[in-house]
Structure 1
Amino acid sequence: MMKAKNIISAVVLAVCSMTSNADQSAGYLIAQVLLSDYDVSENEMRGSLDDGSLTSFDFDNEGEGFAFGLGYRFTNNLAIEGGYIDLGEVTSDGNSNGTFFYAPGRVQSSIETDGVFAGFLFSQALSPGFALTARLGFLSWDSEFSISDSSGGASGDDDGRDAYFGFGAAFNASPAFQITATFDRYQLDDVDVDVIGLGAKMFFR
């Protein structure tokens, strides 16, 4: 945590020491569609759910989500961003013979995660209208878990605050509109979530 605070403090000092160009600074809206991949294997998920009665088990560790938010660009190279992100839902589907805890029949579970993010965006132009980007920040997240069999169900939740980082590319379709492609990693306690995003930014002054 201290290391992360030191990094953020250094970036803030760098921002304060810059001479901002009025033509470069701008606020913007963020919108993205996302494909998430939770770093959990089918064997790991089954191991956490199987009471010894499951005769079949399938796990889908990919989810579809979205993000939206606001940003402010200090210069062409540095911006701050914040907003809401939905990392999608991952599900499992199995069948129990009813010999232990689960009732006979279908057993299903799901995990949904969303949260609020805030961080820095670094950009480096490679040509007019095209740039590579890098992101670093924190996500305050909440995960909801549910499981059910033929007799009923139960649910619970977990939350935390962890780091995210990533990289991407941006293409200026017009002075006020930018198309983005990103790859980010969100750390949720001991589970990493890799996220591919396709989105747009609309700038305003």
Structure 2
Amino acid sequence: MKAYSLICLLSVITNPTTLLAEDLFAANETSPGQFYAGFSLLKSDAECSFQNIACDSTGYKLATGYKFNNSLAIEGGYYNLFSNDGVSASTSEKSTVKGSGLALSTIGSYAVDDKTSLSGRVGIMAWDAEANTNGIPVNGMNGTDILLGVGAGYKLNDHWQLRGEYEHVGGDLEAKIYSLGTTLSTL
């Protein structure tokens, strides 16, 4: 046993560059257990209205997540779903509708090739929508609904990815969300 240990020690001493090179290259590989953050611009179409003001507009999504491996991640995010104003034809008062949500999802991914991936999302969204007239809140709703989605990603390098998604919030709030954005993974 002592002879085996001595041979291993001598091989490390006489050839340390091999071990060092292997460690350097291993650090550059994509390893499981990465945190990431993302920003997306979105277009939402929700089935609601207040005084003929539709609940659809552009917005944004901020997300952060943890990728357990190349196929499974968990993600939380803030969605600015819609914000529209208008003037009531009957009363000439200015009205506004706003909606936002917090989501928690599990994301499964499939790598098509080294750069392209497809993904599916299952989660929940706690949302809040409100309407006001002349700055005074007059109507509000909130709830927690299921969130489903599909998407595609394109890897720019080891840390940056472009991501496009279609998501559907189903339940009390029926909304379709189309988004395009980017994610940054940890080093």
Range of TM-score over shorter length: 0.7 to 0.9
- The 3 A distance-change label for structure 1 pair 130 and 179 is same
- The 3 A distance-change label for structure 1 pair 154 and 116 is closer
Residues in 2 aligned to 1:147 and 1:23: alpha-carbon distance in whole angstroms: 52
Name 1:62's counterpart in structure 2: 56
Is residue 173 of structure 1 aligned with residue 159 of structure 2? Answer: no
State the identity as a percent: 24
Residues in 1 aligned to 2:30 and 2:178: alpha-carbon distance in whole angstroms: 32
Name 2:78's counterpart in structure 1: 84
Name 2:104's counterpart in structure 1: 118
The residue identity in structure 2 corresponding to 1:27 is F
Instruction: Report the alpha carbon displacement of residue 92 of structure 1 after superposing the two structures with TM.
Output: 4.4
Question: Which 4+ runs in 1 deviate beyond 4 A?
Answer: none
- Where does 1:1-205 land on structure 2 (aligned, <5 Å)? 23-40=31-48, 45=49, 49=51, 59-96=53-90, 105-148=91-134, 153-187=136-170, 189=172, 191-205=173-187
- The 3 A distance-change label for structure 1 pair 139 and 198 is same
- The 3 A distance-change label for structure 1 pair 93 and 188 is farther
Residues in 2 aligned to 1:91 and 1:187: alpha-carbon distance in whole angstroms: 24
**Would the aligned equivalents of 1:69 and 1:84 in 2 still touch at CA under 8 Å?**
yes
**Would the aligned equivalents of 1:92 and 1:110 in 2 still touch at CA under 8 Å?**
yes
Residues in 1 aligned to 2:136 and 2:62: alpha-carbon distance in whole angstroms: 32
- The 3 A distance-change label for structure 1 pair 59 and 154 is closer
Equivalent pairs counted in the alignment come to 159
**Would the aligned equivalents of 1:141 and 1:161 in 2 still touch at CA under 8 Å?**
yes
* Other structure's SS at 2:88 match: strand
Instruction: Report the alpha carbon displacement of residue 65 of structure 1 after superposing the two structures with TM.
Output: 1.1
Name 2:7's counterpart in structure 1: none
* Other structure's SS at 1:128 match: coil
**Would the aligned equivalents of 1:60 and 1:92 in 2 still touch at CA under 8 Å?**
no
Q: Unaligned stretches of 5+ in structure 2?
A: 1-28
Q: Bigger radius of gyration, 1 or 2?
A: 2
The residue identity in structure 1 corresponding to 2:179 is G
Q: Unaligned stretches of 5+ in structure 1?
A: 1-20, 50-57, 97-104
Residues in 2 aligned to 1:170 and 1:59: alpha-carbon distance in whole angstroms: 34
Instruction: Report the alpha carbon displacement of residue 33 of structure 1 after superposing the two structures with TM.
Output: 1.1
When normalised by structure 1's length, the TM-score is: 0.69
1:78-107 Cα offsets, whole Å, 9 max, x none, are 1000121110214443322xxxxxxxx414
Coordinate RMSD, CA, aligned: 2.3
Residues in 2 aligned to 1:26 and 1:193: alpha-carbon distance in whole angstroms: 30
1:1-58 Cα offsets, whole Å, 9 max, x none, are xxxxxxxxxxxxxxxxxxxx98233110121111111124xxxx4xx74xxxxxxxx5
* Other structure's SS at 1:117 match: strand
